[in-house]
Structure 1
Amino acid sequence: MQTRTALVTGANGGLGTAIAKGLAIEHHMHVLVAARQMPDARETADALRSAGGEATPIQLDVSSDESVAKLRTTIEQAGGRLDVLVNNAGRNSMTEQSEASLGTVDMKTALGEFDTNALGALRVSQASFELLRKSDAPRVINVSTEMASLSTAATDFYPLAPSYRISKVALNAVTVLLAREWAKHCILVNAYSPGWLRTAMGAPEAPYSADEGAETALWLATLENNGPTGRFFAEMRRMGQPVVLDW
């Protein structure tokens, strides 16, 4: 049986590294470790190989059309196979003062987060489609947030964080529409919230580690062919099992 290949964007730290590690070490996949800077990608890939995994570093800026345009060629040079895509790369400016109110949102910040968090995932998905459709079990996982649920946004206890929330709502829309369009190719596309993590994007006092935040991503990456698609899941650590969130 040929080794499955996974591409993880933003894999050079925190949650991205934890997902890449789980796919490489626990699930024995060849992981394409993507980061904006090649030295960062190499460092993570080297660590995975030292731990016994199979990993290849690639340079990828999901907000750059030029960078993403090179992706298929890069994957072909790394073996020409893609079974799992994890759109993890993201930006989060919620701690900036301007994000405390819709009246003070900086449009440059908002556009930057939308471009990375939503359009970045769409760019990479577009570039990966022809390779994914050749897989016998293609999976796409979009890393979202519970803060993107429109069903609970009016009453939840999270910070307002307009730029981050809006960009992740858009990512959820990308998830639903990709799942709808790619269903005929048997590509399962889902989003999930990893929860509040002890990472650079999270905080030291957060309740979960990056490894715990990766659990749902690993479950979605290894779904059976009759598994769910076009759904939004909560973090498994908090619930003890996969739980569907309202959009």
Structure 2
Amino acid sequence: MSDINHLFSMAGKRVLVTGASSGLGRHFARTLARAGARIAVGARRTDRLQTLVEEIRSDGGEAIALALDVSSRKSVIACLDALNDQFGGLDVVVNNAGVSDTKAALDYTDDDWDNILQTNLKGAWMVAQEGARRMVKNGGGSIINVTSILSSRVTAGVGPYCAAKAGLAHLTRSLALELARYGVRVNSLAPGYVMTEINRELLESDVGEKLKKRIPARKFCEVQDLDGALLLLASNAGRAMTGSEIVVDNGHACSGL
């Protein structure tokens, strides 16, 4: 029974969460800290990171804030080196940093494309690659790439984002294949529409009501709905899982809409 009770424990695990200054990343960091992990939160907006760190510490957790621009390999390496200096190693990466935009396909510029792909795909690649190099030396670990239901379906206005998330989903499987022999698991977590501080106003508007009608459950996900899947992929509960994608979307991907 004791093994079952501790199956999802993150006690002592050293975790990096990227894009942690708001939204899903912020929630992921707090969830993993409550499960016992030692958390490094990374983002460009370090002022907001410090507030998050103080909240985690006030809850009895351990956390540090690290400046991180995932579009720069130099920044990624510096962040991971600082994490290693503080924690002595890395066990889990939650590759969450991402950006998006909404425009008609014919209105996107090359700069728009480069910005979205640089952050959502190349940035995730660099964090996963540099994180995996450290995990291989430490005997293993878990990388969780946050994709989207748009990694396997499309909607209008977000072409570059769809392309980036589809690429990240396929990259997840490729990395899983190569890194399994080193004890490094690579999986993806694919949310549907999730209520966060960034999009709550939109999702609670008339536009949001129309979106909601496309979802079989007729409701959006809340951030806490992702906790079970996150902990499964991060903890020993998912130790035999690699190359998998877990979809959390209230059935949206099944609807075909």
2:36, 2:61 within 8 Å by CA — same for their partners in 1?
yes
CA contact (8 A) 1:15 1:213 kept: no
Amino acid at match of 1:146: I
Hey, what's the Cα distance between the residues in 1 that align with 2:170 and 2:145?
A: 11
Counterpart of 1:73 in structure 2 is 81
What is the CA distance between 1:85 and its match in structure 2?
0.4
Corresponding residue number in structure 2 for 1:12: 21
1:193 matched residue in structure 2: 190
Distance in 2 (alpha carbons) for counterparts of 1:134 and 1:48: 29
**Structure 1 gaps, min length 5:** none
The 5 Å alignment of 1:92-171 reads 92-94=100-102, 99-100=103-104, 102-135=105-138, 138-149=141-152, 152-153=153-154, 158-171=155-168
**1:33-44 residue pairs with structure 2 within 5 A?**
33-44=41-52
Q: Which has the higher mean CA deviation after the structures are superposed, 116-125 or 72-81?
A: 72-81
Normalising by structure 2, we get a TM-score of: 0.81
Equivalent position amino acid for 1:77 in 2: D
Measured in 1, the distance between the counterparts of 2:23 and 2:238 equals 29
* Residues 7, 85 of structure 1: 8 Å contact kept: yes
Q: Secondary structure at the match of 1:39?
A: helix
Normalized against structure 1, the TM-score is what? Answer: 0.84
The equivalent residue for 2:91 is 83
The aligned amino acid for 1:131 is R
The 5 Å alignment of 1:177-192 reads 177-192=174-189
AA aligned to 2:191 is P
Residue of structure 1 in register with 2:228 after alignment: 215
Larger Rg: 2
Contact 2:20/2:29 (8 A) holds in 1 = yes
Q: Is the 8 A contact 1:186 1:225 kept in 2?
A: no
Secondary structure, in 3 states, of the residue corresponding to 2:233?
A: helix
Task: Measure the CA separation in 1 of the matches of 2:40 and 2:123.
Answer: 17
Higher helix share: 2
Match of 2:241 in 1: 228
Identify unmatched segments of 5+ residues in structure 2.
Answer: 1-9, 209-219
